[in-house]
Amino acid sequence: MKAIFLLFLLLSPPALIAQTGYKDEMGRDVSREYFENQILEGPYFGIPDGEGGKILVHRMPFGKVDPQAFFEKTGNLDALNQGKSLIVIFYPGQDECNSTGSGDRTKSFEKEHKTLIKWAEKANAAPPIYLYSNPSGLERFKDVVTWKPDPDGVFSQTFFRYPYPCGSFVVIHPSGEFRGILGGYPLNQIQVALKKLQRANR
Q: Could you tell me the domains of the chain?
A: 14-57 (no CATH), 62-200 (3.40.30)
Helix axes 105-122, 188-200, angle to 10 degrees: 20
Q: What is the dihedral of CA 164, 101, 126, 78, to 10 degrees?
A: 60
Q: Give the C-alpha separation, 162 to 119, whole Å.
A: 28
- The pair phi, psi for residue 130, each rounded to 5°, is -115, 115
- What mean pLDDT do residues 135-142 have? 88
pLDDT band at 155 (very low <50, low <70, confident <90, very high): very high
Q: Beta partners for 159?
A: none
Q: Phi-psi region for residue 101, left (φ > 0), alpha (ψ -120 to 50) or beta?
A: left
What is the tens place of the pLDDT at every residue in 72-120? 999 999 999 999 999 999 999 998 888 776 557 888 999 999 999 999 9
Pick 26 or 158 by higher pLDDT: 158
Q: How far is CA 156 from the centre of its chain?
A: 9
